[in-house]
Amino acid sequence: MIPRYTRPEMARIWEPENRFRIWFEIEAHACDAQAELGVIPKEAAAAVWERGKWEIDRIDEIERETRHDVIAFLTNLAEHVGPEARFVHQGMTSSDVLDTCLAVQMTQAADLLLDDMDKLLAVLKRRAYEHKDTVTIGRSHGIHAEPTTFGLKLAGHYAAFARGRERLVQARADIATCAISGAVGTFANIDPRVEQHVAAKMGLTPEPVSTQVIPRDRHAFYFSVLGVIASSIENLAVEIRHLQRTEVREAEEYFHPGQKGSSAMPHKRNPVLSENLTGLARIVRAAVVPALENVALWHERDISHSSVERMFGPDATVTLDFALARLTGMMDKLVVYPERMQKNLDDLGGLVFSQRVLLALTQAGMSREDSYKAVQRNAMQVWEKGGNFLDLLSSDADVAKHISRETLAPMFDMTYHTKNVDMVFKRVFGE
């Protein structure tokens, strides 16, 4: 990814230095296991650890001739290890190194993403409790529906990210497998105990059937989980974008001193962070379909998946890491306007209580169809001409036959719609 959307810690996972360090550890641990089994001299395994070095520029130079990255690495390693290097990579194939390394990198990336999600969840929980009782209008199809609270909105997003975190934990476990099984995965030239040893040392589990490559359904699941998390980011970002619209103005991104909203219009305060998050979510999701397509490889292996993973492995994780951090910062400083929320609630003269009136009329003996007609015709007058919904209902003869104004008035009470917020919070936060 470009530096604009890259955080250093995640970037380091995908840099050549980390990749070659992991390659070295895989090879060195394999040598230890081979030595314990008596396949290679113990002195050779010790020499790999003692003299094992590599230079990125030298590897690149060798690869320009060999056109093979693992061979280039092994050649450079041998230049430092010396004669004992002939025992390195015994019975192994390139995919043993590449796939096991990728599994390590993806678990490292998942650990950072899980930490990102913990920070986001902490902020969402704090802001949800802060606005647990901040009444606002709920919308369906973008149109006023019934009252809710801003805290309840945020609790819903918290729950989505909590589910995403659980999925990521599962995806991390699913991807954390090791393959040291040799050509076509039969262990013909390498003892399965080598794989078990390397897996234990690298924090992985042995892949049950690797067929020379680790099955790509694991990677597809991993990237699909990242895509779902990205969609949850976009879902919250779109909510903030809508709430910041001039006509709504119920919440907005923090506008820093000295910040400029437009090169042409000095008055502008744009939802640039949430718009940016919407775009970043598209980048993360772009990895999902190629990852699914990578599942179908020719026979025991091919490398059609390789180019995809070399690009989307870093891009998807780096982008999601940045997006989660940006969303956390945005929600931490989000400016909320309860007074504007109340104004918007009051704008339609009480129409948001229409369902409660409808239900009351049916309870009072009016058919549901007639109740709906009576409530709707008065509601449409408010929509089209303005006015007070309670006044119109009170003067409607059909309504008055069943319910008096004195009975109707208490139905226009906001607290009716917030009475179960505590219960929902207990479900979400377990408190």
Listing DSSP states for 234-265 in one string gives HHHHHHHHHHHSTTT-SEE----TT--S-SS-
The CATH number corresponding to 94-181+208-341 among 3.40.50.12780, 1.20.200.10, 3.40.50.620, 3.90.550.10 equals: 1.20.200.10
The CATH number corresponding to 1-90 among 1.20.1250.20, 1.10.275.10, 3.90.850.10, 3.40.50.300 equals: 1.10.275.10
Q: What angle do CA 47, 48, 50 make, to 5 degrees?
A: 60
Q: pLDDT category, 280, cuts 50, 70, 90?
A: very high
pLDDT over 90 at 261, yes or no: no
Q: What angle do CA 153, 155, 159 make, to 5 degrees?
A: 120
pLDDT over 80 at 95, yes or no: yes
> What's the whole-number mean pLDDT along residues 326-348?
97
> Among residues of the chain, what percentage have pLDDT more than 90?
96
Query: What is the average pLDDT score of the chain?
Result: 96
> Residue for token digits 């002939």?
86
| pLDDT (tens digit per residue) in 189-232 | 999 999 999 999 999 999 999 999 999 999 999 999 999 999 99
Taking the domains of the chain in order of start, what are their residue ranges?
A: 1-90, 94-181+208-341, 348-429
Q: Helix or strand or coil: residue 146?
A: strand
pLDDT reported for residue 263: 87
**Do 182 and 89 meet the contact criterion of CB atoms below 8 Å apart?**
no
Residue burial 287-307, b: 16+ Cβ < 10 Å; e: rest: bbebbbebeebeeebeeebee
DSSP state of 431: -
pLDDT over 80 at 333, yes or no: yes
Name residue 317's beta-bridge partners.
Answer: none
> Among residues of the chain, what percentage have pLDDT more than 70?
100
Q: pLDDT category, 2, cuts 50, 70, 90?
A: confident
Q: State CA 325 to chain mean position distance.
A: 11
pTM, to two decimals: 0.94
Name residue 178's beta-bridge partners.
Answer: 206
Q: Specify the CATH number of the domain 348-429.
A: 1.10.40.30
pLDDT reported for residue 19: 97
| CA atoms of 407 and 159, how far apart (whole Å) | 38
Tell me, what amino acid is at 308? V
Catalytic residues: 141, 262
Q: pLDDT category, 414, cuts 50, 70, 90?
A: very high
Give the dihedral sign, CA 101/104/110/115. Answer: negative
